[in-house]
Structure 1
Amino acid sequence: MLEAFLRYEFLQNAFYSGMLIGLLAPMLGVFLVVRRLALIADALSHITLSGIAASLLLAKHVAFFQGLNPLYLGLVFSVGGSLLIEQLRSAYKYYKEIAIPIILSGGIGLGVVFISLADGFNNDLFNYLFGSVIAVSRSDLWTISIITVVVLMVLLLFYKELFFLSFDEEQAIVSGINRKLVNFIFIIMVALVIAASMRIVGILLVSALMTLPVAAAMRLAKGFKQMFFYSIVFGEVAVVTGLITSFYLDLAPGGMIVMIAVLILLLVIALESAFKKYREFGKIQPSK
């Protein structure tokens, strides 16, 4: 089945891009979940939608944007939104979480305005909203590959700092870690991955791929590194299974990927519950 799926170039683009996204999204999702910042993914995905809608609008009126991949302007908006979140988190020192709904609301509003000016939804915009197997081009694959290399290099360089800040931010600051710089770099990485993921998963569903595999991994992992490993495994299984299923059933890949991730989470919870009951039953000594 997989060989038949990879027979065409556009399917190869989708498959390899999905594999990269299945690696990146859960990896960053681990830090987002641990730091209780999972909703940042939703906020940045909506501001990315504004960038995509703006690019499609400009393509109707400006010659330069007619041949430009909308992904690039989406990346610009996503990174800009991430920087605004950090600025707002600094401005609202005691209410940092308010930065997320501000950007989320602004992203939705701006996106709706651009979509209205572009005379409503079209097929391209639907592909970005819910993902599409046939919409992933070779240039998208190269863009995602470059983002993957950059994110992996940054994670290797700043893993200890991110780990420290995730579990004990005050002690990390006392130890000399530049919190603002590390947070700045981290949220830009999140923005890049979200923008890169929208072709496969879709803007409205990308945050699920960053949180659901992590939620399943948390039920099994006995340490932070194990949680990393399980999150990536669950993410890759969800992406590959979702892509193949969506192609053969002619369904939106984003929805199938998310539903597979939900099924994995439910299965893990059910197995964990059954295992606990089995252990408790084993501890019960039969009465003499």
Structure 2
Amino acid sequence: MAVLVTGGAGYIGSHMVLALVDAGEPVVVLDNLSTGFRWAVHPSATFIEGDVADADLVARIVAEHDISAVVHFAARIVVPESVADPLGYYLANTVKTRALLDALVKADVPHMIFSSTAAVYGMVGNDPVAEDALLSPISPYGRSKLMSEWMLEDTAVATPLRYVALRYFNVAGADPAGRSGQSTAGATHLIKVACETALGKRAAMSVFGTDYPTPDGTCLRDYIHVSDLVAAHLDALNHLRRGGASGVYNCGYGRGYSVLEVIETVKAVSGVDFTVNYAPRRPGDPAAIVAKADRIRAAIGWTPRLDDLETIVRHALDWERSLEARKSAA
């Protein structure tokens, strides 16, 4: 039996493949390479280029590789982009997830881990937000993911499928062994952008909004190391395999850092005092969002091991340097 990872050539998906391979699991990756990279997929995994909404392809993969679980990352994820292109996001994140779910139910695949987001909460204030908080997303991205959560919940009632949906907070960092990291050109992740600026890949970076109701006026976020995040997925999969119930869990550390705090950390770790410009707020950005993350620890036994902003930044910087070396060698 194997695990199917959709979007497994992307940033988080490639780290999930690493974790599964490290755990001795047979892995199949399905990715259309719209934002992912073939070279990012571990060579032990079987790679198939294609779309998650291709029902015939998914059915064939499940049958040929004896798929027993799916970890579903394939999605579009940029909040401002979703505001500009809502229908594109509902197609990529909701319609295609519905098609994937239909194929999995028809093939009797028992388990699914779903990549959701803290964007389902919307404007929540500065206190940590729990899973049972009011769900009021303010962007098409958040709404597209919430719709998918609802589909999963309803499907689990009507069929034998069991699932875990993990609501990510701000994912950052790279594999500590340097095997994968955030590689997308033009990425919008704050730590990625700051690291690129520190290494001279960007002339300057922008801070969007300095008038938020936070201690220093910039957005406050809960940053989680990508390796801790994928460990949560593996723990969730093992939870389902043990007969655990379906559920929805936050994935964060329960502590927030402002945009300016992150920038100062990148400057300190890199030793570079780079240029920062200030710009108006972006649409769809809440002032603060920090996880209340005790439920996942109690329910599935997740224990983060890289809960340190400097460590996250250091691993991200190391990865940026390795990307430069890769380009030089090409």
The TM-score, its normalising length taken from structure 1, stands at 0.31
**Greater helix fraction, Structure 1 or Structure 2:** 1
Higher percent of residues as strand: 2
**Which is bigger in relative contact order (C-alpha 8 A, separation at least 6)?**
1
Larger-Rg structure: 1
